[in-house]
Amino acid sequence: MTSPRIRILATGGTIAGSAGSAIERGYRPGQIGVAELLSAAQALGLDARFDGRDIAAIGSQDIGWAHWNALHMSIFDALLDDDTDGIIVTHGTDTAEETAFLLDLTLQAGKPVVLVGAMRPADAVGSDGMRNLSNAVRVAGDELAAGRGVLVVMSDQVFAAIDVRKAATGGAEAFRGFPRGPIANVTPTSLDWFGPPDRTGRGARFAWPDGLPRVSILTAYAGMEPDAVQCALSGGAQGLVLAGLGQGNAPTPVLDALAKAGVPVVRSSRVDQGSVDRNLEVDDDALGFVAARGLGPAKARILLQVLLANGIADPVRMQAEFDRR
């Protein structure tokens, strides 16, 4: 068998981060470009052929429409390129779940697309970057990685974009999946899928839009004031996501203000795990809300943006998309 041809698209993050010393506490993400990443990957002697592109050199807290647009275009090109078998995106971990899910919603699933990051900078003692990159190469070069949507590889585990969350601020094992945990275990020399590819159809779920509308997340807390809703609307929000209490709840005055907001409202939870379902304690039918189901606030926001950008604003149709897996 010939070695898989992997395209690496670099965006920055800790995997490209440098502290300047192996024991320095502070560091700067996005210091290492794709050329350096490629030669480091090549030096590992992995069974793959590489080429690469620099998309950005940022901490992923600064990612936004322009980067996403460039990234989407580059992946789209690589998907059409007969000389590329799989695509790896190196990315900061802070917003990896948002980028992965946005790409998952808008790309066809015919070739593996894998996001990978690191929790420790490249020059730190015990850096996880090259281990994670080697694992990502293993996944991106595997035919069985296609047909599962965009994947995220961290700490010897593979997660589907729809499930993955950054669940810890530190430590190499910072990612979790919900409702599914990891869908495979991976090392540089092994890859064990827990089931067959599960995505129905290989086409993109949504068209790539010309832009994404402003959607704000409002985090609920005891005593939350309803004027947060008006504040978001005055800032130009065209949709709102409630990062609610428990099952997507909020103080009654806030729910009243959301019902009158005049823009689509999605109820998610500030709790790390668990589904937000319709009409349990909050009367979604009467108030016109959409329940986020298994999506946390950050990914619920991405889906709401993509729906609005594709002209889908009817709550029943929106709910069907939030129900879909």
Catalog residues that contact ligand GLU under the rule CB under 6 A.
Answer: 12-14, 29, 59-61, 92-94, 117, 119
Q: Whose CA is closest to 324, among 42, 105, 125, 112? A: 105
Cβ at position 26, least distance to ligand GLU in Å: 12
The CB-side HSE value for 278 (13 A sphere, CA atoms) comes to 15
Q: Parallel, antiparallel, or unpaired: how do β-strands 157-160 and 151-154 relate? A: antiparallel
Between 217 and 237, name the residue whose CB sits nearer to ligand GLU: 217
Q: Are the beta carbons of 60 and 94 closer than 8 angstroms?
A: yes
Q: Rounded to 5 degrees, what are φ and ψ at 4?
A: -65, 145
Quick one: tokens of 31? Answer: 């210091």
| 14 is known as an active-site residue | yes
Q: Rounded CA gap, 130 and 86, in Å?
A: 18
Specify whether the backbone of 99 is left (phi greater than 0), alpha (psi in -120 to 50) or beta: alpha
Min CB(18)–ligand GLU separation in Å = 12
Residue closest to 132 by CA, chosen among 96, 104, 107 = 96
Tell me how many helices (H) and strands (E) the chain has: 9, 14
Beta bridge partners of 8: 52, 88
Q: β-strand 184-187 against 190-193: which pairing, if any?
A: antiparallel
Q: Which of 11, 14, 84, 106 is catalytic?
A: 14
Of 58 and 229, nearer to ligand GLU (C-beta) is 58
Tokens of residue 9, six digits:
């698209």
Nearest-approach distance from CB 228 to ligand GLU, in angstroms: 26
d(C-alpha 229, C-alpha 198), whole Å: 38
- β-pair type (265-269, 239-244): parallel
- Report the nearest approach of ligand GLU to the CB of residue 238 (Å): 26
Residue 208 CB, shortest distance to ligand GLU, in Å, is 23
Q: Please, what is the angle between helix 315-323 and helix 297-309, to 10°? A: 130
Residue of this chain nearest to ligand GLU (CB atom): 92
3-state secondary structure of 128: coil
Minimum Å gap between C-beta 181 and ligand GLU is 21
Active-site residues, by number, are 14
